[in-house]
């Protein structure tokens, strides 16, 4: 007699075939590829955003340099004029006696050209963002990075020279207060500009007749003149350098 064996399943259960190892492999591979592709997409997006930010920084740098170039040109003209006026002051002071000095023009030149000058105040907005915000690492073009670092160092050198000009001008004015009486520029409680002295009826008198004081003043003006000439040379070089930097950035980043 045959005996039949029946396998009884619980209600709702069915026979399930065992999955092969290749099935699990392909599931893992698909999951891995999905994650990897997502990572690549995120990396590519971040890379594109950094490229855009880098180019934007370079466009901003060009604008700063263009502004500097315009201001540097104006500063150059103003300071070259001052060199001429310092020569005029030194010529007036190069007299054997105080009575032979042209007091009217000496007063005018001192107030007009010895109390102020034309320094270049750099547009440093982009440099500040790059250095202080840790954004310099975004500039991946090493040639541009090296050039910007050199430009930044040169700008700091010009700032130091500017401080030297300020110091020399202050020293000249320390002696000028012993020679020039500013009351000649005041009338009716109001202080007038340098040109006012040229219209006065009587030429203004010096506060001292001591030639040694005038010689000290001449020495200070001469020192100021030399220091400003050095600054003017830096201005000329900066204008050339900034133009080269702009051309390099435009070339490397394809900016028109």
201 within domain boundaries: yes
75 within domain boundaries: yes
pLDDT over threshold 70, residue 94: yes
Closest among 90, 75, 76 to 220, alpha carbons compared = 90
2 within domain boundaries: no
How much is the pLDDT for 88?
Answer: 97
How much is the pLDDT for 16?
Answer: 54
How much is the pLDDT for 86?
Answer: 98
Mean pLDDT in residue range 11-28 = 59
User: What span, in angstroms and rounded, lies between the C-alpha atoms of 256 and 88?
Assistant: 46
How much is the pLDDT for 1?
Answer: 43
Closest among 168, 60, 84, 172 to 119, alpha carbons compared = 168
> What percent of the chain clears pLDDT 90, i.e. is strictly above it?
64
Closest among 28, 29, 61 to 152, alpha carbons compared = 61
179 within domain boundaries: yes
236 within domain boundaries: yes
pLDDT digits (tens, 9 = 90+) for 179-236: 999 999 988 888 888 999 999 888 999 999 999 999 999 999 999 999 999 999 999 9
167 within domain boundaries: yes
**Number of structural domains, the chain?**
1
1 within domain boundaries: no
pLDDT digits (tens, 9 = 90+) for 112-135: 999 999 999 999 888 888 888 677
Whole-model pTM? 0.80
Cα end-to-end span (Å), the chain: 99
pLDDT over threshold 80, residue 55: yes
11 within domain boundaries: no
Mean pLDDT in residue range 140-168 = 94
User: What span, in angstroms and rounded, lies between the C-alpha atoms of 170 and 220?
Assistant: 9
Confidence of residue 54 (pLDDT cuts 50, 70, 90): confident
pLDDT over threshold 60, residue 46: no
Confidence of residue 45 (pLDDT cuts 50, 70, 90): very low
How much is the pLDDT for 172?
Answer: 97
Residue 41 structural domain: 21-253
User: What span, in angstroms and rounded, lies between the C-alpha atoms of 174 and 228?
Assistant: 18
Tokens representing residue 152 in the block: 């930044």
How much is the pLDDT for 112?
Answer: 95
């Amino acid at each position: 007699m045959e005996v039949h064996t029946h396998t009884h399943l619980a209600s709702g259960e069915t026979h399930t075939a065992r999955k092969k190892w290749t099935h699990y492999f392909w599931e893992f591979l698909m999951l891995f590829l999905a994650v990897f592709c997502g990572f690549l997409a995120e990396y590519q997006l971040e890379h594109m955003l950094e490229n855009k930010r880098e180019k934007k920084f370079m466009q901003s740098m060009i604008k700063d340099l263009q502004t500097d170039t315009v201001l540097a040109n104006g500063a150059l003209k103003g300071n070259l004029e001052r060199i001429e006026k310092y020569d005029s002051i030194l010529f007036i002071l190069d007299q054997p006696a105080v009575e032979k000095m042209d007091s009217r023009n000496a007063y005018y030149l001192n107030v007009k050209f010895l109390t102020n000058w034309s320094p270049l105040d750099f547009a440093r907005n982009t440099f500040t963002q790059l250095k202080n915000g840790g954004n310099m690492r975004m500039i991946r073009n090493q040639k541009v990075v090296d050039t910007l670092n050199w430009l930044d160092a040169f700008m700091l050198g010009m700032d130091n020279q500017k401080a030297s000009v300020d110091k020399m001008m202050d020293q000249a004015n320390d002696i000028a207060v012993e020679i020039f009486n500013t009351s000649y520029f005041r009338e009716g409680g109001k202080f007038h500009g340098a040109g006012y002295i040229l219209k006065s009826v009587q030429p203004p008198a010096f506060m001292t007749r001591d030639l040694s004081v005038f010689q000290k003043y001449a020495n200070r003006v001469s020192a100021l003149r030399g220091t400003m000439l050095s600054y003017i040379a830096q201005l000329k070089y900066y204008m050339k350098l900034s133009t080269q930097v702009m051309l390099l950035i435009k070339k490397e980043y394809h900016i028109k």
